């Protein structure tokens, strides 16, 4: 995992079959990067559905959730539509896992992303990270606590 306190590396990936997103487009917002192994898998479906249910909380925290896996943009489009996700799923497909490798969230043995989470502040600094065992849904407590800690840190600095 990349260490806390460094600038999050910028990247650009497909969010839809025709549209790309850059991480830097979200400056001024907190960002939650959720790397996950694969669309249509049971644990990933539970994890992404949980985050989808927390969309209003993320909005209140001025945070954008972004899911990333090595599945294709077409697979993400079908998966996101099937589950009515409110957040983008980015395709780290070609070159395969280029972003996951930069974020040290790629498993060379399985050819999939690890279940890695990063919380990035409004300035683009990594403030929290977590690597979950592959078969375990990491839940949202760590993310929610990290978002709250960013706000507390800003209050202390003011």
Please give the Cα distance from 78 to 73 (Å, whole number): 9
pLDDT at residue 158, as a whole number: 61
pLDDT at residue 153, as a whole number: 75
Strand-strand pairing, 63-69 and 126-132: unpaired
How many CA atoms lie less than 13 Å away from 122 in the CB half-sphere? 9
Angle between helices 73-83 and 42-53 (to 10 degrees): 60
pLDDT at residue 86, as a whole number: 95
Question: pLDDT at residue 31 above 70?
Answer: yes
- The 10s digit of each residue's pLDDT in 41-95 is 989 999 999 999 999 999 999 999 999 999 999 999 999 999 999 999 999 999 9
What's the pTM?
Answer: 0.95
Question: pLDDT at residue 116 above 70?
Answer: yes
Rounded to an integer, the average pLDDT of 100-128 is 97
Structural domains of the chain ordered from first start: 12-157 (3.40.30.10)
* Active-site residue set: 44
pLDDT, the chain, mean? 95
Question: pLDDT at residue 154 above 80?
Answer: no
Query: pLDDT confidence of 151, banded at 50, 70, 90?
Result: confident
């Amino acid at each position: 995992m990349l260490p806390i306190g460094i600038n999050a590396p910028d990247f650009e990936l497909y969010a839809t079959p025709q549209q790309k997103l850059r991480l830097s487009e979200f400056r001024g917002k907190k960002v939650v990067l959720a790397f996950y192994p694969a669309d249509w898998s049971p644990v990933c479906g539970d994890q992404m559905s949980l985050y989808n249910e927390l969309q209003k909380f993320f909005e209140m925290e001025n945070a954008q959730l972004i899911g990333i896996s090595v599945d294709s943009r077409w697979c993400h489009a079908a998966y996101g539509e099937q589950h009515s996700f409110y957040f983008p799923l980015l395709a780290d497909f070609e070159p395969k896992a280029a972003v996951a490798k930069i974020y040290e969230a790629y498993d060379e043995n399985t050819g999939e992303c690890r279940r890695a989470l990063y919380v990035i502040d409004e300035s683009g600094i990594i403030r929290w990270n977590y690597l979950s065992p592959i078969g375990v849904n990491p839940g949202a407590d760590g993310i929610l606590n990290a978002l709250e800690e960013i706000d507390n840190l800003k209050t202390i600095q003011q």
